[in-house]
Structure 1
Amino acid sequence: MSSTRRTAVAAGVFFLITEIAAIAGLVLYRPVLSDANYVAGAGADSRVLLGGFFEVILVAAVIGTAVTLYPVVKRENQSVALGYVCGRLLEAAVIVVGTVGVLSVVTLRQGLAGASGADKTSLVAVGRSLVAIHDWAFLIGPNFVLGANSLLLAHLMYRSRLVPRFIAVLGLVGGPLICASATAVMFGLYDQLSPWGSVAALPVFAWEVTLAVFLILRGFKPSPVTARDIPPAQLHAGASAA
Structure 2
Amino acid sequence: MTTDTTIPPASAALQRPRMRPSRRISLAVGILYVITFVSIPTLALYAPIKNDVGAFILGAGTITALQWGVLSEVVVGLAGIATAIVLYPLTRRISQTAALGLVAARLLETCLTFVSVVSLLTMTTLRHDLGGAAGTNAALTTTGHSLLANYNWTFLLSQSLMPVACDLLLGYLLYRSAIVPRIFPIVAFIGAPLLLASDIAVFFGAYPQVSALSAVAALPVAVFELSLGLWLIIRGFRTTPLTAAFDEDARTAAA
TM-score, length-normalised on structure 2?
0.87
What residue is the counterpart of 1:119 in the other structure?
136
SS of residue matched to 2:239? coil
1:63 aligns with 2:59: no
Bigger shift: residues 41-50 or 53-62:
41-50
What residue is the counterpart of 2:33 in the other structure?
15
AA aligned to 1:171 is: A
Deviation, structure 1 residue 73: 1.0
Following superposition of structure 1 onto structure 2, how do residues 205-224 of structure 1 map, counting pairs within 5 Å? 205-224=222-241
Bigger shift: residues 211-220 or 27-36:
27-36
SS of residue matched to 1:189? coil
Unpaired runs of at least 5, structure 2: 1-18, 250-255
1:99 aligns with 2:131: no
Contact 1:112 1:118 in 2 (8 A): no
1:193 aligns with 2:193: no
CA distance in 1, matches of 2:92, 2:50: 39
Cα distance change on mapping 1:229 and 1:194 into 2, 3 Å: same
What residue is the counterpart of 1:49 in the other structure?
67
1:169 aligns with 2:178: no
1:27 aligns with 2:44: yes
What whole-Å deviation, never above 9, does each CA across 1:97-139 have from its counterpart, x for those lacking one? Answer: 1111111111111110122x13211100001100111001110
What residue is the counterpart of 2:12 in the other structure?
none
AA aligned to 1:111 is: D
CA distance in 1, matches of 2:154, 2:194: 19
Contact 2:21 2:247 in 1 (8 A): no
Contact 1:40 1:109 in 2 (8 A): yes
Unpaired runs of at least 5, structure 1: 233-242
Higher CA-based Rg: 2
Q: How many residues align?
A: 231
TM-score, length-normalised on structure 1?
0.91
What residue is the counterpart of 2:24 in the other structure?
6
AA aligned to 2:152 is: D
AA aligned to 1:150 is: D
RMSD: 1.5
Identity of aligned residues (%): 40
CA distance in 1, matches of 2:31, 2:37: 10
